[in-house]
Structure 1
């Protein structure tokens, strides 16, 4: 296990409404990047305001950090988080071949959703505010599939998929160093190494998928992720670049 990263804080809370909300509240008084881990989360949320169910024993944490380069660069931390989750889950389960990354913000274990990522930020007058990188992992339990949207990917948990028990605190000890490693690669070498690493582990690369935006639904072959992190589909309309979408298999 890698050591805890230098200069990164750690707060473990017995209960919290949302780790992203708590991280945002703490941000003005923090001197550096800090992980906020909630052992019980009562009002977790996912992308586009969806509820995120966080059962007892699951992982709910947020890294709050300053990203001075603007929204486009802040969004690249979704890739940092995904690759860190890949590494942490591989170390926890010893099954790296079972883990895949689903663009833009989910992680799969044996083809089912085990983790999700939510980035939130606020700022004023064009000045970027603190970035909250929220991460939820089904360590002990997966949500009831009947409570999910009809076309949602089937959920799983580390315990049910592998029989391995790991506590939220133990998982944070794996995730924080992995995140720090990928963050250093991003700030040192730029986005391309992360893009290539993500593609190495991307779910359904080279296969036909459906991408839904707020206005449209497109089906095509997942061919690439571009230099800005956008999804590239090739289909009846030719090459289509999608900066944001939900994708379905």
Structure 2
């Protein structure tokens, strides 16, 4: 299960930190290049919309931080790059892609359960080009209990329980970093089109009826595609709707 570290990417490993995303923000002003930050323990981890992210011992928590050299809408498409890299890394360490799927906008599923989540944060003002942080959590060893996730959410699963594969965060990171570097090179060279096509090939519930919730607005329709801006496209009784941000329920 060896993987070589990608050229041009830095690495910082911490025993304990409040959050790898917070550490990324602190490091951002001095960045010379992209850096992976791995934490063995987080005391204030967070998920989407400020939710608490539960990290049992042995699970993976890391953030990739980089200078943002593109428009924010283009940089945001790296959530799809990261999702594909996670898919690739898990398939490599387990020796199989069977049971893996990608859930819009930023989850990786294994055997129908949530294995991993991705959270993007960006910052920048005035003449400061800003930075992009890609936070990634993977249930390598243990899945949070049902009481620790919101009602209606996809059940959490772990890599160990679903595949029997035991791997430490320190050993998993080189696989993910190498996979990300490969996918990111594809993105910067050829644009979003090949990333979008590869993501759709691995999309969960494509062609099926799903529900997207944004605040108080709920939209149910057939999952037709993800468009060239990364929006979820649903076919509803009122017509096609492109949704930029939402929580998706099956």
TM-score, length of structure 2 as denominator length: 0.97
* 1:237 equivalenced with 2:246 (yes/no): no
Q: CA deviation at 1:125?
A: 2.4
Q: Calculate the aligned-residue CA RMSD, in Å.
A: 1.1
Q: Secondary structure at the match of 1:124?
A: coil
Moved over 3 A (4+): none
Is 1:67 the counterpart of 2:40 in the alignment? no
State the Cα distance separating 1:186 from its structure 2 match: 0.5
* Per-residue deviation, 1:24: 1.1
Residue 131 of structure 2 corresponds to: 130
Quote how far apart the aligned CAs of 1:172 are. 0.2
Where do 5+ consecutive residues of structure 1 fail to align? none
- Using the alignment, how far apart are the partners of 2:147 and 2:49 within structure 1? 20
What is the distance in 2 between the residues matched to 1:2 and 1:90?
Answer: 13
In the other structure, the counterpart of 1:176 is: 177
Q: How many residues align?
A: 249
Instruction: For 1:108 and 1:228, locate their aligned partners in 2 and report how far apart those are by CA, in whole Å.
Output: 23
Aligned to 2:80: 79
How big is the shift at 1:3? Answer: 2.0
2:106 maps to what in 1? 105
Which deviations, in whole Å up to 9, do the C-alpha atoms of 1:64-105 show, x marking residues without a partner? 001211210110110110000000010111220211000001
* Aligned ranges 1:4-153 → 2 under 5 Å: 4-125=5-126, 127-153=128-154
> Does structure 1 residue 214 correspond to structure 2 residue 215?
yes
Per-residue CA deviation, residues 163-184 of structure 1 (Å, 9 max, x unaligned), is 1100001110100010001110
Is the 8 Å Cα contact of residues 31 and 66 (structure 2) preserved in structure 1?
Answer: no
* 1:246 is aligned to 2:247: yes
Once residues 212 and 68 of structure 1 are traced to their aligned partners in structure 2, the CA distance between those partners, rounded to angstroms, is 31
Unaligned runs of 5+ in 2: none
Is this contact kept in 1: 2:100–2:110, CA < 8 A?
Answer: yes
Deviations 1:133-191 (A, max 9, x none): 00000000100111211111100000111111000011101000100011100100000
CA–CA distance in 2 between the matches of 1:126 and 1:207? 45
8 Å CA contact retained: 1:99, 1:110: yes
Query: How far has the Cα of 1:27 moved from its partner?
Result: 1.6
